[in-house]
Homo-oligomer: A and B are copies of this chain.
């Protein structure tokens, strides 16, 4: 088990869905940076449940308590630790999970890995609840990146096949991100929401769930950030993004679509825009050979439909070693994509800020 990430700015995430607290330590943030906690809270609320028609009605206390690392709201060079309380948990809902693993959840392999000692309540350490500390780390890194004029934004590209517009991958900028974040829903085109909502509510009514795709962009990155081979931008962002539960795929630039293009179609040709080397298209998603190219970084993450559904499912009784039926109680998101938008921004922020501060200090 390693719920730690990063080489220079290292985060350590702890907690289970129903443990006393969940939280995160961020080790390696330089001293002297003002952290705007109101903005952090505002960011956290985008992840918090209970706010809209398509997410769980479960209330979670998503206000971070800072235990260390700040003096008068300014980083002091010591590890920054923030915790969240776990409250309003209904542990009894989960009694059946101990014996009957939920399909598409970690219950069964976690049971085997931990010899039955894993915390099954709410999925334990495997719970989506653990994205709260990830988002705290992300909110902090987003502020620190912004000091360097690096901006991150994401939007719902698809829910249940209903598709938003894509980012203009060449011209996307921080104003687009502001507009998304200030809009009722994280979409470029707000009008697609009603169709998305319809799909989700229909699934919910049918005791089912839906999946989707989140698209994320980052602007203002310096040219040459990253590395060839194992510590490239794609490697590091992937390693962070797959920490978000339900992600099953990631693609950069035009991703899987580029596999059907010719080189002459896919290659983004260079030109000088004044003194700056640019490309007129951005199929490469701002990354060449593991390094940032100066064009906006663009990637997409695929989310599977929420595994917890109210519909009766087949499963097994691990104690009796027989097949059985499973009826999951409790309140679950029929679609996690909406709440996952800040999680994807956070994963990108954490990976990029770590890369940025880890560049050789010459």
Query: Copy number in this complex?
Result: 4
A residues contacting the other copy or chain, number (CB 8 A): 155
Instruction: Judge if A193 is at the interface, Cβ distance under 8 Å.
Output: no
Q: Which of B74, B104, B232, B259 contacts A117 (CB 8 A)?
A: B74
Report chain B residues within 8 Å CB of A245: 289
Best-surrounded residue of A32, A229, A243 (most CB of chain B within 10 A): A229
Q: Which 5 A-B pairs have the closest CB atoms?
A: A106-B289, A113-B224, A249-B251, A78-B125, A209-B263
Report chain B residues within 8 Å CB of A187: none
Report chain B residues within 8 Å CB of A106: 228, 288-291
Instruction: Judge if A169 is at the interface, Cβ distance under 8 Å.
Output: no
| 13 sample A-B contacts, Cβ–Cβ < 8 Å, listed by A number | A1-B228, A7-B8, A12-B25, A14-B67, A20-B66, A22-B67, A32-B115, A77-B113, A113-B223, A158-B259, A213-B259, A229-B243, A238-B239
User: Complex Cα distance A4/B229, Å?
Assistant: 8
Within 8 A of B (CB), among A142-189: 158, 160-161
**Interface mask (A248-260 → B, CB under 8 Å = 1, otherwise 0):** 1111111110111
Report chain B residues within 8 Å CB of A13: 79, 229
Instruction: Judge if A264 is at the interface, Cβ distance under 8 Å.
Output: yes
CB distance from A74 to the nearest CB of B (A): 6
Known: A31-B115, A77-B114. A249 touches B252 (CB 8 A): yes
User: A157: nearest residue on chain B (CB-CB)?
Assistant: B259
User: Complex Cα distance A71/B224, Å?
Assistant: 20
Report chain B residues within 8 Å CB of A103: 267-270, 279
Instruction: Judge if A275 is at the interface, Cβ distance under 8 Å.
Output: yes
Beyond the given A1-B77, A130-B229, A272-B316, please list 5 additional residue pairs across the A-B interface where CB-CB is below 8 A. A106-B228, A109-B294, A234-B247, A248-B254, A267-B307
**Contact indicator A256/B256 (Cβ below 8 Å):** yes
**Contact indicator B31/A12 (Cβ below 8 Å):** no
Instruction: Judge if A203 is at the interface, Cβ distance under 8 Å.
Output: yes
User: Complex Cα distance A259/B249, Å?
Assistant: 10
Report chain B residues within 8 Å CB of A269: 103, 313-315
Known: A25-B25, A103-B268, A251-B302. A360 touches B357 (CB 8 A): yes
User: A202: nearest residue on chain B (CB-CB)?
Assistant: B262
Instruction: Judge if A15 is at the interface, Cβ distance under 8 Å.
Output: yes
Report chain B residues within 8 Å CB of A283: 104, 304
Q: Which of B77, B279, B305 contacts A266 (CB 8 A)?
A: B305
